[in-house]
């Protein structure tokens, strides 16, 4: 079945034809100065879905995910403090200590979301030499110039600058020239910044003590691991007008060819119909959701209910509805799993064709979920359960962890079943302390938990 993806560069769906036998893919990763919020995490659910879909259809993948631990300033117009440095000063810690701490939390979040992690994790501070050599080359070849505060890319040398966003007016975010600036054009962007004496993170360069800009890291690391032109570049829609536009310009100047054939972007998450806002207290992390009784898979399922290229409106009511729907899927699968009946092969083939067609058409996961829900309404059958697990190779929802054996637990109170479900999720998340606390709570109420390979049973304690 032929895959089609929407390409931000062409503004249309295109048939996917990889360059070689292995799909090469680059994903813009986090700037690790704080906790990633749910808006950030949608980008990695999207990345995960794309990787899983490619594997589902038989492709090999070699992917790179960057970790920005230097160079991302607080203003996209190349002004302000380095975000890592600012956090380090506020918390009275070293920048790399801050980066290490939030990087570990980020990967724990990926694990709880059952994210398929790329093959290469590239930290910016491990690739200073590659970035510096690219910057030197751009200066030597006339694409960049020096000012008092850094090295800037001259966008007038990039004939198609603005082609990704479609805005060639010069009015993009961050495009401004201060009175004292030496920038030639408002859109010119920093490749390298001269460090002030008190700047914590700095390296030697032909221009003195300095540090890399944000955009150069992705071009340098993509070139190192994926070559001059690779298959797919992904990221959030917010990267289009500045970061990815700049990345294309500098990569094309350096390599004399386009960096990626497909540019794919996920839309924003809104909260209660508006932007996430720290001042309004609407910036949520996965831990915030957990504190309200939800788990990572509930959020991932929630993401799957809306196409990745559409805005996703987050409310706790909507998340609760996703929670309920996901639990019904698990309950139905539990019944299918226990059945020895085999469903007609042609019936299952039709459902698989519907599912495959949905995800092959630009990752239409909401339609794929609809196929799954319809299939689960069939008479209970182990065949349905097995096909659902094939679908889960794309969905990544952990559907093999059917949580309660309905036949043996039919007399278990709902309150106990709810605690047991929460305890199982804590175990999946490797929060064993909390899992043990809930196990003890269940035992105090007169029941026990018997764990199996990928599920569990609730039993009444023998009071003899």
Task: Give the pLDDT score at 77.
Answer: 57
Radius of gyration of the chain, Cα coordinates, nearest whole angstrom: 25
* Four-residue CA torsion sign, 67, 70, 72, 78: negative
Q: What's the pTM?
A: 0.86
Task: Give the pLDDT score at 200.
Answer: 83
The angle formed by the CA atoms of residues 345, 346 and 352, to the nearest 5 degrees, is 90
Q: What is the mean pLDDT of the chain?
A: 90
Report the share of the chain in percent with pLDDT over 90. Answer: 69
Q: How many alpha carbons lie under 13 Å from residue 143 in its C-beta half-sphere?
A: 22
The structure tokens listed for 9 are: 């560069």
179 contacts 167 by C-beta, under 8 angstroms? no
Q: How many alpha carbons lie under 13 Å from residue 234 in its C-beta half-sphere?
A: 27
At 203-251, the pLDDT tens digits run 999 999 999 998 999 999 999 999 999 999 999 999 999 999 999 999 9
CA-to-CA dists, residue 23 to 53, 118, 122, 262, 338, angstroms = 12, 12, 18, 11, 38
At 56-101, the pLDDT tens digits run 999 999 999 999 998 666 556 566 677 887 888 888 888 889 999 9
How many CB atoms are closer than 10 A to CB 188? 23
Task: Give the pLDDT score at 174.
Answer: 47
Task: Give the pLDDT score at 188.
Answer: 95
Task: Give the pLDDT score at 429.
Answer: 83
Question: Quick one: pLDDT band at residue 15, thresholds 50, 70, 90?
Answer: very high
> Distance (Å, rounded) from C-alpha 459 to C-alpha 446?
9
55: pLDDT strictly greater than 80: yes
**What number is the average pLDDT over the span 111-140?**
97
Identify the CA nearest to 286 among candidates 39, 30, 33, 32: 39
Identify the CA nearest to 258 among candidates 4, 2, 8: 8
Coil, helix or strand for 5?
strand
Q: Which has the minimum average pLDDT: 128-132, 336-340, 367-371, 448-452?
A: 448-452
Identify the CA nearest to 289 among candidates 29, 39, 32: 39
DSSP 364: -
CA-to-CA dists, residue 405 to 291, 379, 410, angstroms = 27, 18, 8
Q: Which has the minimum average pLDDT: 166-175, 180-189, 224-233?
A: 166-175
The domain segmentation of the chain, as residue ranges, is: 22-266, 316-460
Task: Give the pLDDT score at 403.
Answer: 44
Task: Give the pLDDT score at 155.
Answer: 96
> Distance (Å, rounded) from C-alpha 227 to C-alpha 221?
9
Coil, helix or strand for 369?
helix
* Burial class of residue 464, CB neighbours in 10 A (0-12, 13-18, 19+): exposed
Task: Give the pLDDT score at 409.
Answer: 38
> Distance (Å, rounded) from C-alpha 320 to C-alpha 121?
34
216 contacts 135 by C-beta, under 8 angstroms? yes
Report the share of the chain in percent with pLDDT over 70. Answer: 90
Give me the CATH topology for the region 22-266: Rossmann fold (3.40.50)
333 contacts 402 by C-beta, under 8 angstroms? yes
At 278-292, the pLDDT tens digits run 888 899 999 999 889
CA-to-CA dists, residue 34 to 39, 67, 107, angstroms = 13, 13, 13
**What number is the average pLDDT over the span 315-325?**
95
Give me the CATH topology for the region 316-460: 1.20.120
Q: Which has the minimum average pLDDT: 44-48, 157-161, 408-412, 422-426?
A: 408-412
DSSP 241: I
Q: Which residues contact 202 (CB under 8 A, 6 or more apart)?
A: 195, 209, 210, 211
The strand pair at 73-75 and 79-82 is best described as antiparallel
- The DSSP element (H or E) to which 395 belongs, if any, is helix 382-395
459: pLDDT strictly greater than 80: no
Task: Give the pLDDT score at 1.
Answer: 85
Identify the CA nearest to 47 among candidates 242, 264, 197, 220: 264
464: pLDDT strictly greater than 50: no
């Amino acid at each position: 079945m032929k895959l089609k993806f929407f390409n931000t560069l062409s503004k249309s769906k295109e048939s996917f034809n990889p360059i070689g036998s292995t799909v090469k893919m680059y994903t813009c990763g986090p700037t690790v100065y704080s906790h990633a919020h749910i808006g950030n995490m949608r980008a990695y659910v999207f990345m995960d879905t794309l990787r899983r879909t490619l594997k589902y259809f038989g492709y090999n993948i070699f992917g790179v995910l960057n970790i920005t631990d230097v160079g991302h300033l607080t203003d996209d117009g190349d002004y302000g403090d380095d975000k890592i440095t600012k956090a380090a000063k506020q918390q009275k810690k070293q920048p790399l200590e801050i980066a290490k701490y939030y990087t570990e939390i980020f990967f724990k979040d990926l694990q709880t979301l059952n994210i398929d992690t790329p093959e290469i994790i590239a930290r910016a501070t491990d690739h200073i030499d590659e970035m510096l050599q690219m910057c030197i080359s751009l200066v030597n070849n006339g694409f960049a110039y020096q000012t008092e505060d850094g090295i800037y890319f001259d966008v007038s040398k990039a004939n198609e600058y603005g082609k990704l966003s479609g805005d060639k007016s010069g009015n993009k975010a961050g495009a401004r020239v201060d009175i004292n600036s030496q920038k030639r054009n408002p859109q010119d962007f920093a490749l390298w910044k001269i460090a002030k004496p008190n700047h914590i993170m700095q390296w030697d360069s032909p221009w003195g003590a300095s540090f890399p800009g944000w955009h150069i890291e992705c071009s340098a690391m993509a070139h190192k691991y994926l070559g001059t032109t690779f298959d797919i570049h992904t990221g959030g829609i917010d990267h289009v007008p500045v970061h990815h536009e700049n990345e294309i310009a500098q990569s094309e100047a350096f390599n004399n060819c386009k960096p990626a054939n497909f540019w794919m972007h996920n839309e924003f998450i809104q909260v209660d119909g508006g932007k996430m806002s720290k001042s309004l207290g609407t910036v949520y992390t996965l831990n915030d959701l957990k504190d309200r009784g939800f788990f990572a898979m509930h959020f991932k399922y929630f993401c799957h209910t809306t196409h990745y290229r559409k805005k996703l409106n987050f409310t706790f009511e909507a998340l609760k509805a996703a929670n309920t729907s996901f639990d019904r899927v698990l309950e139905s699968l539990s019944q299918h799993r226990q059945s020895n009946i085999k469903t007609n092969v042609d019936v299952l083939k039709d459902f698989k064709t519907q599912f495959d067609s949905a995800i092959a058409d630009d990752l239409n996961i909401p339609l794929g979920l609809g196929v799954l829900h319809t299939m689960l309404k069939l008479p209970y059958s182990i065949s349905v359960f097995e096909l659902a697990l094939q679908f889960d190779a794309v969905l990544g929802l952990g559907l093999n962890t059917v949580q309660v054996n309905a036949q043996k637990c039919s007399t278990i109170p709902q309150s106990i079943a709810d605690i047991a479900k929460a305890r199982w999720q804590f175990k999946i998340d490797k929060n064993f302390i909390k899992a043990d606390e809930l196990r003890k709570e269940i035992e105090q109420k007169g029941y026990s938990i018997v764990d199996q390979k990928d599920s569990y049973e609730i039993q009444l304690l023998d009071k003899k």
